[in-house]
Every structure is written in C-alpha cells, then in structure tokens.
C-alpha cells in the first residue's frame, strides 16, 4: 500500500510540467479522485489548468497545490535526469518532487485511504489545484478563488502543501507570508565631461549616501509572527552609453521589499521618497506590488496540524511566515483557517531536487491523521 504514494509522485515528476503547463498531471489526479466519488470541475483558463474537486457536505477542508514546476536549470549539473524520477538509497530525485508533486501525491493517497476506511465521514473534502503557481499566477488560484467567492463557497480549513519543512519534516509550518514590493527608481543628474565635473551632476555620486542610508532603513520592528520588513537593492546601473570621458546623466536602481502586515505599500514608498528628498535627489519612481502580506491567526486547524505532525515525527513545528509568497495569500478571501505544511524545502528550485521517501510516507500519514481528527 505504501508504494502507491511513491508511484504517483514518480508519475507526476516524469511529466515535465514547466510552469504554467500541466501536460496531463491534473488528469491523473482527477481520474483517481473521481474513482473515489469526487465531483470535479475543470477550470482551464488560457494556458493554465485548474480544477476544483469536492466530496461530502458541511465543514470543508481544501487541499491546495500546484502541478507546475520551475525549469530544470543546467541539466549537466544534475546527477539524474530531472524529469525521469530516480530513487537512490531511499531518496527520490526529480524536478518538482519537493515543490510540490510529492505532497500532492501524499494528499491524494491520504484522501483515497481515508475515504476507503471511512466512506461515511463527516464534512467535505476538496482539492484546489493549479498549474500556475511558479510563473505569473495570472490564471491560477487567484481567478478560481474569485469564482468560488462569487458562489459563496466557504472553506473552513485550507491545507497548502508547499514545502515548509526546513531541517526535519514537520519542523516548520506557515500561517502567513510577507508581501513583495518591487520598486524601480531613476535618479537624474546632469550629463557632462569627466574633466569638468563642476558643470555636471554625477548621479552615481549623489546616490551613494542615499543608497547607504537606504540599505539600513527600518520600516517596522516585526512582531511574534513576522520578522521586520526588509529591503534589498537588486540592481544599480548607469552609463548606458559609457565612454571614458563622460559623466552619465542618470542612474537606475531596482529594489525589492519583503514586507510584513505592519507596513503598507504606501508607507514604504513614502519613507523612500522622504529619503530622496533629504538628499535633494531628482528622481522618478515606479512600483509594483506582487503580493500583499497575509496572516491567519493560529487556531483550531493549526492545533490539529501540529498534533498530527507531533504524532508521527515527535517534532513540535515552529509557526512561521518567512520565505517567498505562496498561493495561500489568495485564500484569505474564502478560507477561515489556513496552514501550509509540506516536505523539506532544502533543495527546491535547485539542481538535484530531492526528498526522502520516508518523509513522503510520513507526510501521507500526517495528512490522513488530520483528516481523522477533523472528520471522525
Ligand atoms: Zn511551490
């Protein structure tokens, strides 16, 4: 029985579903879910495949996941073929095995086993799966959620299967994430001859003290769940038409801010603008908020997941909000409680992405156990 979850993971990994392509992964899942009594609604939007599947009535748990993966990267750096899953000494290798085809397989097999054992369980079990979490996400969970919201669907508990574990399976779960704000700045100087600096304004020189202070700015102090908001300078470039005797006319700067709910897009931009003013800098600024921060206060569901994890691992998970953004952010509109919990994230998006097969079985057991705690 245990090999089922490995087989399903391998089947999914062997499909090179580079985001936003699904290439048939979801049909494999749909077929299995239909066989155990799920209603399935395919919601395919342009290049993205999504489905919403449900079985039962009443209090609802939704398993949220994505079938797309990031590209393999440099194939020569892989010890195995990224899209031909390989097992070596109890470790399963392949692109997407940790992020997050392994956990999708664990969810599906756990649910199959649970229904087989308890065909008349309480509550409603549902799946919400997309093939675009890793690229723009334009036609993924965001749109499906607005559809579900229009129908007044209520999700009581949402389990996002993203790889949240850090060193040991179950050592970390997430109940929120920071937001991501990208900022493009152009600093204007005055172009001129390098030998006559008094006749020009060097945008690089005037930016140096500004950038130094910018890199030490503090926006908030964080709280029990969020580390303080951080800003990173990602790119500084100037001298597009570089020649050895010319002072450039402008300088471009790209920034990225990962912000907690204690800061807003508006106050971050305001702080940056005030600093520019302090240094008498002429500038233009553009920004894009890719994700707003979100947070679910730890509640009954968080307790249940924690208990299930402890039962199988003897580990009490830390509840964190670190890492990149996730589709969990869209659930804030329809879900009452949400927890992200999945495999180890040590190798995600890297070459030689891998998981321990033992962890995969344990994850399946934990998903099964939390269903029992909720619906028996
Ligand atoms: Zn992922």
12 and 34 assigned to the same domain:
yes
CA-derived radius of gyration, the chain: 24
* 99 annotated ligand-binding residue: yes
Same domain as 33, residue 165: yes
Torsion, CA 333, CA 334, CA 340, CA 342, rounded to 10: -130
Q: Are residues 187 and 319 in the same domain?
A: no
Whether the ω angle into residue 367 lies within 30 degrees of 0, i.e. cis, is: no
Is residue 184 flagged as an active site residue? no
Mean pLDDT check: name the lowest of 60-69, 249-258, 329-338, 354-363. Answer: 329-338
**Residues 6 or more apart whose Cβ sits within 8 Å of residue 251:** 186, 187, 189, 203, 204, 207, 236, 237, 238
Residue 264 has pLDDT above 80, yes or no: yes
Residue where a domain terminates, one of 231, 258, 288 = 288
Expressed in angstroms, the distance from the first to the final Cα of the chain is 22
Average pLDDT, the chain: 96
Q: Over the stretch 286-336, which tens digit does the pLDDT of each residue have?
A: 999 989 999 999 999 999 999 999 999 999 999 999 988 889 999 988 999
Q: 68, 250, 353, 359: which is the annotated catalytic residue?
A: 68
Residue 1's pLDDT is: 45
Q: Which pLDDT score is estimated for 375?
A: 95
Residue 93 has pLDDT above 90, yes or no: yes
* CA separation for the pair 292, 149 (Å, rounded): 19
Q: Is 27 a catalytic residue?
A: no
Between the CA of 243 and the centroid of ligand 1 the distance, in Å, is 45
Give the pLDDT confidence of 227-244 residue by residue, as tens digits.
999 999 999 999 788 899
| Ligand 1 geometric centre to CA of 186 (Å) | 33
For residue 245, count other CB atoms closer than 10 A to its CB.
Answer: 9
Number of neighbours of residue 298 by Cβ within 10 angstroms? 17
Q: Do 118 and 18 belong together in one domain?
A: yes
Whether residues 25 and 116 fall in one domain: yes
> pLDDT per residue over 185-224, tens digit each?
999 999 999 999 999 999 999 999 999 999 999 999 999 9
Cα 371 to Cα 107, 148, 240, distances in angstroms: 10, 23, 59
Please give the pLDDT value at position 2: 61
Residue carrying structure tokens 């749109």: 143
Mean pLDDT, to the nearest integer, of 332-347? 95
Instruction: Give percent above pLDDT 70 in the chain.
Output: 99
Per-residue pLDDT tens over the stretch 129-170:
999 999 989 999 999 999 999 999 999 999 999 999 999 999
Q: Which residues surround ligand 1, an ion (CB under 5 A)?
A: 99-100, 162
**Domain count for the chain:** 2
- Of 238, 275, 254, 281, residue with least CA distance to 181: 254
For residue 280, the enclosing domain spans 181-288
Q: Which of 22, 132, 133, 369 is catalytic?
A: 133
- Of 297, 66, 306, give the one whose Cα is nearest residue 173: 306
185 Cα–ligand 1 center, Å = 30
Give the pLDDT band (50/70/90) at residue 79: very high
Q: Are residues 33 and 92 in the same domain?
A: yes
Same domain, 303 and 266: no
Domain termination residue (choose one: 234, 265, 288):
288
Segment 237-257 mean pLDDT: 92
Do 87 and 186 sit in the same domain of this protein? no
3-state class (DSSP) for residue 256: strand
Rounded Cα–Cα distance for residues 287 and 371 (Å): 42
- Is 134 annotated as contributing to ligand binding? yes
């Amino acid at each position: 029985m245990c090999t089922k979850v490995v087989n399903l993971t391998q089947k999914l990994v062997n499909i090179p579903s580079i985001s936003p392509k699904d290439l048939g992964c979801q049909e494999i899942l749909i077929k299995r879910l239909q066989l155990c009594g799920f209603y399935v609604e395919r919601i395919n939007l342009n290049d993205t495949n999504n489905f919403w599947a449900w079985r039962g009535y009443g209090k609802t748990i939704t398993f949220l996941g994505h079938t797309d993966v990031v590209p393999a990267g440099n194939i020569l750096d892989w010890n195995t073929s990224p899209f031909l899953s390989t097992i070596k000494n109890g470790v399963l290798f392949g692109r997407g095995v940790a992020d997050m085809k392994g956990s999708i397989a664990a969810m599906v097999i756990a649910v199959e086993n649970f229904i087989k054992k308890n065909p008349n369980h309480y509550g409603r079990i549902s799946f919400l799966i997309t093939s675009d979490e890793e690229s723009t996400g334009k036609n993924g969970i965001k749109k499906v959620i607005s559809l579900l919201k229009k129908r007044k669907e209520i999700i009581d508990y949402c389990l996002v299967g993203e790889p949240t574990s850090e060193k040991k399976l179950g050592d970390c779960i997430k109940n929120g994430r920071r937001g991501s704000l990208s900022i493009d700045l152009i600093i204007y100087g005055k172009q001129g001859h390098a030998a006559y600096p008094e006749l020009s304004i060097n945008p690089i020189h005037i930016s140096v003290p500004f950038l130094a202070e910018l890199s030490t700015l503090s926006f908030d102090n964080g709280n029990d769940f969020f580390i303080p908001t951080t800003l990173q300078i990602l790119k500084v470039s100037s001298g597009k038409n570089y020649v050895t005797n010319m002072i450039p006319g402008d300088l471009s700067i790209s920034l990225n801010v990962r912000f907690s709910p204690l800061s807003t897009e508006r106050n971050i931009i305001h702080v940056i603008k005030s600093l520019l003013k302090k240094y008498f800098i002429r500038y233009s600024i553009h920004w894009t908020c890719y994700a707003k921060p979100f947070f679910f206060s730890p509640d009954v569901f968080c307790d249940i997941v924690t208990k299930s994890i402890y039962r199988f691992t003897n580990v009490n998970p830390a509840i964190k909000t670190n890492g990149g953004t996730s589709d969990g952010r869209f659930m804030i509109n329809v879900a009452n409680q949400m927890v992200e919990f999945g495999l180890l994230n040590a190798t995600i998006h890297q070459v030689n992405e891998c998981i321990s097969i033992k962890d995969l079985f344990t994850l399946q057991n934990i998903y099964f156990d939390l269903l029992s705690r909720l619906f028996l």
